[in-house]
Structure 1
Amino acid sequence: MFSLKDKAAVITGGGSGIGRAIAVKFAEAGAKVHIIELNADAAADTVHEITQAGGQAEAHSCNVSNQQQVLDVYNKIGDIDILVNNAGIAHIGEATTTSEADFDRIVSVNIKGVYNSLFAAIPLMKQKGKGVILNMASIAATVGIPDRFAYSMSKGAVYSMTLSVAKDYLADNIRCNSISPARVHTPFVDGFIAKNYAGKEEEIFDKLSKSQPIGRMGKPEEVAALALYLCSDEAGFVTGCDYLLDGGFVKLNN
């Protein structure tokens, strides 16, 4: 079950964290993985891990906020069965403490970056007569999170784009779903805490971990396992859905 043999999968932000876990999992399932990544060294590390294990992977240096770069890379790849829109950045701030520059930066990566990949990949999928798209949203799309104004806004847009794409391309046999994780423990999270809460790393990590009723953060591999199902043929009847992967955060925090 859940084989991706002979399928080509594009994963944005596949150099680290959740994106890397998805890339590794998809390669294990037989896909040829194309990693779209701004950080060339991180992409190369993921490719090395996959190829050392006998899988197929290729890295493509690309800024997802630049549409021409995205179009050039996707047209070079040509054959795309699966697109995972995972690349994204975070930001702390309320509406009145978010600068215009930071707002624009979040929009350019988290919203425009997803749009650019959709814009480039969907025509290629239509040519094949099928395709699967998975967008990485967040619990912040539907639940109020303190000090995450711009980030929450951007993930709300990802959630909405998921529904629109799922509806618009039904006749083209293109499925589109999203995953909304709560906190997932990645190197990005450790760096984010160190940067924004210097000297309080252990306290903040413990607080964020316990904000999930299950008592811990998620693991990238757990997100990857759900991603594999949603992008496999076994999920052929699933489209226009958002999947909470949150340790009970949304439903059980009362």
Structure 2
Amino acid sequence: MTSQTDRLLILVGSGPGIGRHIACEFASKRFNKVALLARNAGRLAEDQAAVQAATDGKAEVRTYLVDITNDDEFIATLDKIEREMGLPEVFYYNAARVALSKLLESDAKEMEHDFQINCKSLHTAAKWAIPRLVSLADADADARPSLLVTSSLLPLDPIPDMFALSMAKAAQRNMTQSLAKVYGPKGVHVGMVLVGGPVDPAHETLSPSNIASRTWGLFEEPKENQTFEIQVV
């Protein structure tokens, strides 16, 4: 059972950049439970240790090794998280693959793979998460149910040499906008974080720590005036 004071963050696409820093930021400020999902066991262990260190060991942090492009495996993993940790307050989707794909040289497999990660698997996640977030909004006035997604400026300004990812990101933004239109009025904050360049720890604004801080600001916005997307450039 999830108590009224439990706050669970599910983060899909954990890793040493944005994912780890988002988890640390949210866990250090509100969330006493964190579920980290990724395909790399070694990185998951490192991320788990980082989040626990950021909370002085006070947060319950569990890791889940999963291939999110396998729908059955993905859903089974999310069901396992619910059994072990309860209902999420925030579902954060940070999965992506960054690879070159030239405009007229890309084949269907490249396009399908980027669409799978950015759209189909996000749709699978939303079908699982949204009903639970709506239920939480109805049950707990203090909760801030949210579905947040990391994106880039590619939906607004595509790069021809990253054609497949640009196309998939545009479709992802379209779908996320639709989710916001339908489920925002039902109490779920659906939002996107558009990162305007390569993540660089040394960069003033594109460092993962600044991206995480800006994302926390998006999450913390007043319920009556929530933003759909922010740009971090």
What is the TM-score when the length of structure 1 is the normalising length?
0.77
1:60 equivalent among 44, 57, 64: 64
What number of residue pairs does the alignment pair up? 215
The 3 A distance-change label for structure 1 pair 50 and 170 is: closer
Deviation (angstroms), 1:167: 1.0
Give me the whole-angstrom Cα distance separating, in 2, the residues matched to 1:242 and 1:49: 27
2:125 equivalent among 117, 124, 138: 117
User: Aligned AA for 1:56?
Assistant: E
Check conservation: 1:50, 1:56, Cα contact below 8 A: no
Question: What SS is found at the alignment partner of 2:154?
Answer: helix
Give me the whole-angstrom Cα distance separating, in 2, the residues matched to 1:46 and 1:103: 30
Matches within 5 A, 1:71-220: 71-78=75-82, 79-129=87-137, 131-186=145-200, 218-220=206-208
User: Aligned AA for 1:26?
Assistant: F
Check conservation: 2:8, 2:35, Cα contact below 8 A: yes
Match of 2:26 in 1: 26
Match of 1:9 in 2: 9
- Structure 1 residues not aligned, in runs of 5+: 188-208, 210-214, 247-254
1:237 equivalent among 224, 227, 232: 224
Deviation (angstroms), 1:239: 4.1
Give me the whole-angstrom Cα distance separating, in 1, the residues matched to 2:227 and 2:168: 18
- Structure 2 residues not aligned, in runs of 5+: 139-144
Deviation (angstroms), 1:216: 6.9
Question: What SS is found at the alignment partner of 2:158?
Answer: coil
The one-character-per-residue Cα deviations of 1:139-171 (angstroms, maximum 9, x if unpaired) are 011113241111111111221122111111134
Give me the whole-angstrom Cα distance separating, in 2, the residues matched to 1:146 and 1:171: 36
Question: What SS is found at the alignment partner of 1:176?
Answer: strand
Question: What SS is found at the alignment partner of 1:105?
Answer: helix
Check conservation: 2:184, 2:190, Cα contact below 8 A: no
**What's the Cα RMSD here?**
2.2
The 3 A distance-change label for structure 1 pair 144 and 103 is: closer
The one-character-per-residue Cα deviations of 1:79-127 (angstroms, maximum 9, x if unpaired) are 1110111111012122311122222211111221211211111122123
Match of 1:194 in 2: none
Question: What SS is found at the alignment partner of 2:224?
Answer: coil
* Identical pairs, percent: 23
Question: What SS is found at the alignment partner of 1:137?
Answer: strand
The 3 A distance-change label for structure 1 pair 239 and 66 is: farther
The one-character-per-residue Cα deviations of 1:18-70 (angstroms, maximum 9, x if unpaired) are 11110111111131211111112111111112223323311111112222222
